[in-house]
Amino acid sequence: MPFQVQSQQLKWSTGSVSATTNVSSESVRPYGGRISVQVNLAGTGAISVTATIQVSNDNTNWIDADALALSGTTSTTDGATIDAAWAYLRVTLSSISGTGATATAFIAGNAA
């Protein structure tokens, strides 16, 4: 039976940091299980953010495993799963734009 190994939330808004600054979650250890990433974006007008899922075996050098480009006018959600047995995973949010735009990334995983 699967069990939750780690859960993390990363929140970023246009009011909290410069829109040109990237923000990364702390790395999580998936322990060889499936990891899911969900990104929610909300705001008004034209809103957008890019979420890059990165993996590493040494927690220092990162490889881009997937990227989610979200855009809309009020809210949108996207997600991805990573099945490979990487030692570490993190999400980096970049290029957030829009009035009151807030992006939230959720990382959760299950061990086999």
Domains of the chain: 3-111 (2.60.120.20)
> In a 10 Å sphere around its CB, with 0-12 CB exposed, 13-18 middle and 19+ buried, how is residue 16 labelled?
exposed
Averaged over 48-66, what is the pLDDT?
90
pLDDT of 95 > 60? The answer is yes
Phi-psi region of 98 (alpha: psi -120 to 50; beta: other; left: phi over 0): left
Rounded CA gap, 59 and 4, in Å?
A: 21
The answer to whether the predicted template modeling score (pTM) of the entire model surpasses 0.85 is no
Q: What is the pLDDT of residues 32-49, one digit of tens each?
A: 667 888 888 988 889 998
Rounded CA gap, 88 and 3, in Å?
A: 18
